[in-house]
Amino acid sequence: MQALDHAHYLALAEGAEVLEADHSGNKVLRLTDGSMLKLFRRKRLVSSAAWYPYARRFADNCVILAERDIPCPKVLSVFRIAKIQRDAVHYAPLEGQTLRQIMRAPDSGDGLRAELGRFIAELHEKGIYFRSAHLGNVILTPRRTLGLIDIADMKTFRGPLRKSLRLRNFKHMLRYSEDRKWLLGQNNQAFFNGYLAAQSLCTAKELTQAMS
């Protein structure tokens, strides 16, 4: 992790577009050169974020995802900005739109739902447990492949995910009612069937239970 002094941070952020912010300040900036800067608040010393900062996790997870052929942002550097008590990850965005943006369009259909089901199965088969799995963190790229952003909170395993984690991950995916409505709608089977067809560990019955 590289120290970034405050003056350099201000120069980098000059003219940036604020994509996300909360009460304690800016969270995601699109810089004037098109790259992105995601800021993480420094946590107190007792938390796990002190010994393994989220910005670092983000960068490490990018490497693992790339090795496993899952599209994701490209990390340029990881900074510590002591003055504002933030860590930051600077990255080239993954080109495309989030599924949240896309699902609001009238033509977002079953093809995409099935593709997402297969994609989640692929992540599970590849040992990727993405806890922030919701439609705002999945990107459809211009090449029509799916990829992940916001990957600080992810756990990776050498082998395929065990069943209990897969089922728990479905609960994460269905946490937001807007997502749930798009994914499952009026008993829509496309997402469900896409997932089932691409893996064999979880049965339809187990999945139905987890999603209820």
Binding residues for ligand ADP, per CB under 6 A?
19-20, 27-28, 36, 38, 73, 93-94, 98, 136-137, 139, 149-150
CA 34-39-43 angle, to 5 degrees, is 170
Nearer to ligand ADP by C-beta: 96 or 117? 96
Q: Residue 137 or 199: which CB sits closer to Mg ion?
A: 137
Rg, C-alpha atoms of the chain: 18
CB under 5 to 8 A by kind: which of Mg ion, ligand ADP, none does 36 bind?
ligand ADP
> Which residue from 50, 73, 48 is spatially nearest to 61, judged by alpha carbons?
73
- DSSP strand pairing (128-130 vs 154-156): antiparallel
CB 89 within 8 A of CB 58: yes
Minimum distance from CB of 189 to ligand ADP (Å)? Answer: 28
Please, what is the minimum distance in Å from the beta carbon of residue 46 to Mg ion? 25
- Helix (H) / strand (E) element for 138: namely strand 138-140
Residue 90 site contact among ligand ADP, Mg ion, none (CB < 5 to 8 Å, cut-off depends on kind): none
The distance of closest approach from Cβ of residue 182 to Mg ion in the complex, given in angstroms and rounded to an integer, is 16
The verdict on 179 binding Mg ion (CB under 5 A) reads no
Torsion, CA 21, CA 13, CA 39, CA 124, rounded to 10: 90
Q: Which part of the chain contacts Mg ion (CB under 5 A), choosing from 49-57, 76-84, 150-158, 183-191?
A: 150-158
Residue showing tokens 């495309």 = 96
Q: How far apart are CA 64 and CA 57, in angstroms?
A: 11
Q: Which is nearer to ligand ADP, 115 or 150 (CB)?
A: 150
Interacting residue with Mg ion among 80, 114, 130, 150 (CB under 5 A):
150
b/e 86-95 (16+ beta carbons within 10 angstroms → b): bbbbbbeebe
Name which of ligand ADP, Mg ion, none residue 211 binds, using a CB cut-off of 5 to 8 Å depending on partner kind.
none
Which of the choices Mg ion, ligand ADP, none does residue 115 contact, using the CB cut-off of 5 to 8 A by kind?
none
Contacts with Mg ion by CB under 5 A lie at 136-137, 150
